[in-house]
A and B are shown apart, each in its own frame.
Chain A
Amino acid sequence: MSLSRILRILAKDLRLGPRSPIFLYAIAFPVILTLLVVFVFGSLFAPSPRLGVLDAGNSSITSKIQQVGGITVTMFDSEDELIEQVENDNLDAGLILQKDFDSSLIARERPVLQFYVGGNSLLSNRTILAVTTIDLIREVGGSTGKVDVSIEKLGTEESIPLVDRLLPMLLIYAVIIAGLFVPASSIVAERESGTLSALMVSPVQIPDIMIAKGVMGFILAMLAGIVTLIINQAFGNAPLALVLILTLASAMAVTFGLIFGSLAKDANSLFTAVKGMGIFLFAPVIFFIWPGLPQWIGQLFPTYYFLFPLFEVGVKGATLADVGAELWIGFGITAVFAVIAAMTARRLRSALSST
């Protein structure tokens, strides 16, 4: 195995890539699909974060929050009315500031801050409202001022907006097309054109070729995944954690791509194989879209082990620790498929010789 040869093949593939329809498809498809979904279900053009405020005193936080651009603030006199509006999804969140909130905050008396979150609100809107409120409290109370925060979620866990529940579908398309299709179709194209045979009578060895194709798929899958998360406003919540999970997702997709690419004799058999195995790859998506279905079925499929962490962290605000078990299982599955990919790649040499 030679690093310099791997890099030369990779450079060639990246340079020729934009001339390949599959390569362009891998880049453009997730963006187009995302735009289509958010256009139909509306989050890209969704209204700005909506906050209801009931100010029992005359808190400076109220006036400051009204001056913050990009947030629609509605004032309420009744707590019941505020809660009703949050429950009915007319507001993303409701904030109740007690009488003498500011003075209690300055006096370090730990006043109570009540925050109602709408179950149907977008995670990005909730995050913006929560972070903005915390910033304003610090501005008024200084770094030592403390509050007791009471957060109440209105609505049920299942009431995550459909546009958020569709995110796993967008992500799996992005990652699978770039991570699986690009390397697999590149191997098959080289096989069909005979250039793979030409490479194999040079000092290049099969592992050099496989690694170069895999790295190309990995880079594209990471890019496609990050772009999809950004467009869906789910990347800002925990970017480092999401990059780590996308690393797992891309690596898993690439191992599938190398297996499919090594086994497929031509483009037709590659597409037939991917179509046939579609359920194996895409099935977990169903369980995110319809959370009422028995979730354990989703866990039978390997892609669940990166989709679940991506969904939990990107949409529901979980931490890496919360999804650690799934991530470890995912890395284990990827390692097993990597071994299978190495075995099928070795087989590719003898398969080529028989053609």
Chain B
Amino acid sequence: MSDTRAIDVRGISYSYGNLLAVDDISFSVEPGEILGFLGPNGAGKSTTIKMLTGQVDPKSGSITVLGYDAIKSRAEMQSRIGVCFEEKNLYLNMTAAENLRFFASLFNIADFDPEALLRRVDLVDKSGTHTKGLSKGMRQRLMMARSLVNRPDVLVLDEPTDGLDPVSSRAIRRIIREEADRGAAVILTTHDMEEADKLSDRVAFINEGKIATLDTPENLKLAYGKRSVKVRSRDGDQISEQTVALDGPEAGEELKEAVASPGLMTIHTEEATLENIFIQLTGRGLE
């Protein structure tokens, strides 16, 4: 294993009874990197997250997080990671600050200042509010803050912006970027391709318990997209559309001609979206 890897997963599998949920998957994440884990419901994302965070032991394979064996040194590993769940699992009868203070105490953090974290997630004015009085978006931001109480070196986020309003989603994306810039390795599960594209340094497509592909969004788009542009132009009442293959021998001339045309309306690249690529690779959509 490279010493620089924050997470190193090798050949892990897990099954629920006869159902093989995760089937021999391997990947690694470097410090400061954001890895997007993409896949439809039931693809095996959450089970992988559970294994990574020590909630469940893999039936086979190994997981090393920050140099700790996730099975043998679970408590040590868990003291250095932060986890943000999809499900809102806060103590509803505690205030926002009490929730953070309680979890910080479990990490034995002295002089913990909940206000500083609440400020980061724009909830400082809700510090004394009972969690049951917070909106869904506010609760999600509070959960994000909770995952940061121990200044984790690995941050695991399960659908962190699912169903949130744009303001909360933006706040959470900003924090994810800040944490990666600080040097934390981030694993993010989502079925929002746009979010994965914006945030992730690399993305892994998971389907039926296997990783279908893992690469940077840019490389995937290049590998699976069409190398062509679509040119639309108007000639009187007629609108014409022309596809220019970028690998063709006349590509340069054709593009020059199109740009010079007085009736030029639009030029679009034929770059594939992550969703197109996912469908291409797995034969199914993300929903």
Chain A residues proximal to chain B, CB less than 8 Å: 4-5, 8-9, 12, 16, 19, 193-195, 197-205, 349-350, 352-354
Contact = CB atoms under 8 A, between A and B. Distances in A.
A193 B81 CA distance: 22
B54 interface: yes
A198 B53 CA distance: 11
Interface in B39-68: 50, 53-56
21 contacts: A8-B102, A8-B105, A8-B106, A12-B102, A16-B93, A16-B94, A19-B93, A197-B55, A197-B85, A197-B89, A198-B83, A198-B89, A198-B146, A201-B54, A202-B106, A202-B107, A203-B79, A205-B74, A205-B75, A349-B56, A353-B55
A194 B85 contact: yes
Given A193-B91, A201-B53, 12 more contacts: A5-B106, A16-B91, A195-B90, A197-B55, A198-B83, A198-B90, A202-B79, A203-B76, A204-B106, A353-B55, A353-B56, A354-B16
**Leading 4 A-B pairs by shortest Cβ distance:** A194-B89, A353-B56, A201-B83, A203-B79
B50 A353 contact: yes
The size bracket of the interface on B is 20 to 34
A221 B78 CA distance: 34
Nearest to A194: B89
B78 A203 contact: yes
A193 B93 CA distance: 12
Of A194, A198, A200, the most chain B CB neighbours within 10 A belong to A198
Choose among B75, B83, B94 the residue with the greatest number of A CB atoms under 10 Å from its CB: B75
B88 interface: yes
Contacts of B79: 202-203
Contacts of A350: 56
A237 to B, nearest CB: 41
A195 B108 CA distance: 19
A193 B89 contact: yes
Interface of B: 16, 50, 53-56, 74-76, 78-79, 81, 83, 85, 87-94, 102-103, 105-108, 146
**What secondary structure prevails in chain A residues at the interface with B?**
helix
A146 B53 CA distance: 76
B106 A203 contact: yes
Given A197-B55, A203-B79, A4 B108 contact: yes
Nearest to B81: A201
Contacts, number: 64
Contacts of A204: 106
B197 to A, nearest CB: 27
Given A194-B89, A354-B16, A202 B53 contact: no
A195 B54 CA distance: 15
Nearest to A197: B89
Contacts of A9: 106
Contacts of B50: 353
B53 to A, nearest CB: 5
A5 B78 CA distance: 14
A353 B22 CA distance: 14
Nearest to B21: A354
A194 B90 CA distance: 8
With a 10 A CB-CB cut-off, give which of A4, A9, A354 has the most chain B CB atoms: A354
Contacts of A352: 55
Nearest to A16: B93
A201 B78 contact: yes
A202 B56 CA distance: 14
A330 to B, nearest CB: 35
A197 B89 CA distance: 8
A195 B78 contact: no
A198 to B, nearest CB: 5
Given A4-B108, A203-B107, A353-B50, A193 B92 contact: yes
A15 to B, nearest CB: 9
B91 A195 contact: yes
Contacts of B54: 200-201
A354 B55 CA distance: 10
Contact of A202 (B78, B87, B92, B93): B78
Contacts of B90: 195, 198
Contacts of B16: 354
B85 A198 contact: yes
A84 B92 CA distance: 66
Contacts of B93: 16, 19
Given A5-B106, A194-B85, A353-B50, A200 B92 contact: no
Nearest to A192: B89
Nearest to A202: B106
B75 A203 contact: yes
B137 to A, nearest CB: 18
Contacts of B106: 5, 8-9, 199, 202-204
Contacts of B105: 8
B103 A202 contact: yes
Contacts of A4: 108
B155 to A, nearest CB: 12
A350 B65 CA distance: 21
A202 B55 CA distance: 10
Most buried by A among B90, B93, B106: B106
B55 to A, nearest CB: 5
B18 to A, nearest CB: 13
